[in-house]
């Protein structure tokens, strides 16, 4: 029986445990430069005891930014500013992957320094509103990427991944989950394209396969993970025939030999063992826990072999020494969502450690 506190293999790395910090946007990269800060180095350094840290979503390009005050990895200034963050984690023996998140249609001109219209897969706006400096506003209709735009976006991911390695990250996680650009290519309600990146399953998975392949070529497949969230309706996503889509995606990606597949599980929990079975590499699971958050009981999924590693979001936010607390069966600090996005060190670097 495998314990959560044994090492696992993630590409070229061996983790110190199977407890992973899930990616969490915290919106504290203030200013037009969208650069990480010293406070962020403290925050990630406090959580370096994880088997792996996956950072908050980081935009690979200016146009990839949808939310306020999220950091980027597309300028020299940003690369330099990430170095103290990766150093803080490495100084404590941790591993850290940068999550590359292009938000696609989930954005607003008022949330970016340039005031640009969000780029999308097709001209389909998301239902609902997004927080902007003047309060919640409706999502705009995105500007669909033309063929040159699709190729330029792939190139942006490659550059950002190279930048991540230059900034000291151990690898990158491509954000293909939760209704952002990669997911928008996969989903049937957001991808209405009739060119090679749309239409049937082969067309809808093409962009994700191309981005992943190009990034793997650039930095090594053993430093690249992919996050997916099949049938998760977050950000107004509808996926007809999701099982067929994701099995085709896994079949196309298996030959690459990626570091891991990260599944943010959705309501179709019975699909998870099917994905686990189909995926030939390391499997990282963020279990579906509607109305709650992943708790200590999820570690059993490692013991039963249902997954290789488990990622924790909310509990990691509030418990910087989470693996220690899990090993001791608690106690756990309750996360305060009021300070989740934006603000200062309160609810960010002031959560206590045990003892």
Ligand X SMILES: Cc1cc2nc3c(=O)[nH]c(=O)nc-3n(C[C@H](O)[C@H](O)[C@H](O)COP(=O)(O)O)c2cc1C
What is the set of active-site residues? 180
Sign (positive or negative) of CA dihedral 149, 154, 159, 161: positive
Sign (positive or negative) of CA dihedral 210, 212, 216, 219: positive
Residues numbered 128 to 167 that lie near ligand X (CB under 6 A) are none
Asked whether position 19 contacts ligand X by CB under 6 A, the answer is: no
Asked whether position 210 contacts ligand X by CB under 6 A, the answer is: no
x-or-dash pattern for ligand X, window 253-272, by CB under 6 A?
A: -----------x--------
CB 321 within 8 Å of CB 299:
no
User: ω before 331 within 30° of 0 (cis)?
Assistant: yes
Ranked by CB distance to ligand X, the top (closest) residue is: 313
Sign (positive or negative) of CA dihedral 22, 81, 181, 257: negative
Comparison of 59 and 190: residue with beta carbon closer to ligand X: 59
One of 19, 22, 130, 285 touching ligand X (CB under 6 A): 22
> How remote is the C-alpha of 112 from its chain's centroid?
20
x-or-dash pattern for ligand X, window 56-75, by CB under 6 A?
A: xx------------------
Stretch that binds ligand X, among 17-25, 156-164, 213-221, 322-330 (CB under 6 A): 17-25
Stretch that binds ligand X, among 131-139, 170-178, 183-191, 321-329 (CB under 6 A): 170-178
Stretch that binds ligand X, among 9-17, 23-31, 150-158, 347-355 (CB under 6 A): 23-31
CB 88 within 8 Å of CB 132:
no
For 34, the 3-state DSSP assignment is coil
Comparison of 13 and 312: residue with beta carbon closer to ligand X: 312
Asked whether position 221 contacts ligand X by CB under 6 A, the answer is: no
One of 124, 158, 275, 314 touching ligand X (CB under 6 A): 314
Q: Which residue has the tokens 């998760």?
A: 232
Asked whether position 318 contacts ligand X by CB under 6 A, the answer is: no
Burial of residue 83, with CB atoms counted within 10 A of its CB: 0-12 exposed, 13-18 middle, 19 or more buried: middle
Output the six-digit token pair for 209.
């396969």
Stretch that binds ligand X, among 1-9, 20-28, 140-148, 247-255 (CB under 6 A): 20-28
Asked whether position 294 contacts ligand X by CB under 6 A, the answer is: yes
CA angle 292-298-302, nearest 5°?
160
Output the six-digit token pair for 190.
């957001």
Asked whether position 103 contacts ligand X by CB under 6 A, the answer is: no
Comparison of 62 and 152: residue with beta carbon closer to ligand X: 62
For 289, the 3-state DSSP assignment is coil
Asked whether position 23 contacts ligand X by CB under 6 A, the answer is: yes
CB 82 within 8 Å of CB 90:
no
C-alpha distances (whole Å) from 354 to each of 52, 129, 250, 275, 331 are: 20, 39, 40, 36, 8
Comparison of 246 and 293: residue with beta carbon closer to ligand X: 293
Number of amino acids touching ligand X (CB under 6 A): 22
Q: For the CB of residue 196, give the shortest distance to ligand X in the complex, in Å.
A: 27
Q: How far apart are CA 148 and CA 26, in angstroms?
A: 32
Q: For the CB of residue 234, give the shortest distance to ligand X in the complex, in Å.
A: 9
Asked whether position 313 contacts ligand X by CB under 6 A, the answer is: yes
Asked whether position 175 contacts ligand X by CB under 6 A, the answer is: yes
The bridge status of strand 224-228 relative to strand 119-120 is unpaired
Asked whether position 99 contacts ligand X by CB under 6 A, the answer is: yes
Q: Which residues bind ligand X (CB under 6 A)?
A: 22-25, 56-57, 99, 101, 175, 177-178, 227, 264, 286, 289, 293-294, 312-315, 340
């Amino acid at each position: 029986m495998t314990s959560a506190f044994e090492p696992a293999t993630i590409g070229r790395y061996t983790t110190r445990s199977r407890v992973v910090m899930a990616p969490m946007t915290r919106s504290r990269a203030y200013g037009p430069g969208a650069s990480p800060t010293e406070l962020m180095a403290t925050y990630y350094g406090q959580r370096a005891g994880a088997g792996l840290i996956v950072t908050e979503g980081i935009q690979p390009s200016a146009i990839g930014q949808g939310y306020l005050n999220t950091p980027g990895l597309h300028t020299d200034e940003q690369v330099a500013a990430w170095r103290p963050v990766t150093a803080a984690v490495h100084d404590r023996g941790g591993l850290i992957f940068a999550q590359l998140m292009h938000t696609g249609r989930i954005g607003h001109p008022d949330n970016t320094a340039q005031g640009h219209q969000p780029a999308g897969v097709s001209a389909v706006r998301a239902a609902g509103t997004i927080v902007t400096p003047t309060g919640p506003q409706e999502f705009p209709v995105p500007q669909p990427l033309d063929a040159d735009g699709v190729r330029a976006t792939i190139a942006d991911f490659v550059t950002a991944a190279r930048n991540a390695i230059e900034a000291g990250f151990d690898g990158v996680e491509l954000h293909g989950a939760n209704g952002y650009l990669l997911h928008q290519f996969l989903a049937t309600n957001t991808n209405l394209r009739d060119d090679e990146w749309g239409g049937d399953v082969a067309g809808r998975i093409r962009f994700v396969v191309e981005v992943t392949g190009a990034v793997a070529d650039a930095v090594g497949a053993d430093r690249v993970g992919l996050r997916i969230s099949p049938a998760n309706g977050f950000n107004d996503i509808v996926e007809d025939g999701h099982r067929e889509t994701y099995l085709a995606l896994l079949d196309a990606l298996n030959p690459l030999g990626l570091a891991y597949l990260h599944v943010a599980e959705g309501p179709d929990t019975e699909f998870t063992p099917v994905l686990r079975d189909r995926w030939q590499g390391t499997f990282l699971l963020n279990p579906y826990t509607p109305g709650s958050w992943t708790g200590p009981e999820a570690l059993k999924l490692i013991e039963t072999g249902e997954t290789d590693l488990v990622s924790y979001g909310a509990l990691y936010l509030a418990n910087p020494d989470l693996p220690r607390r899990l090993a001791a069966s608690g106690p756990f600090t309750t996360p305060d969502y009021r300070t989740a996005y934006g603000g200062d060190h309160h609810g960010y670097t002031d959560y206590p450690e045990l003892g």
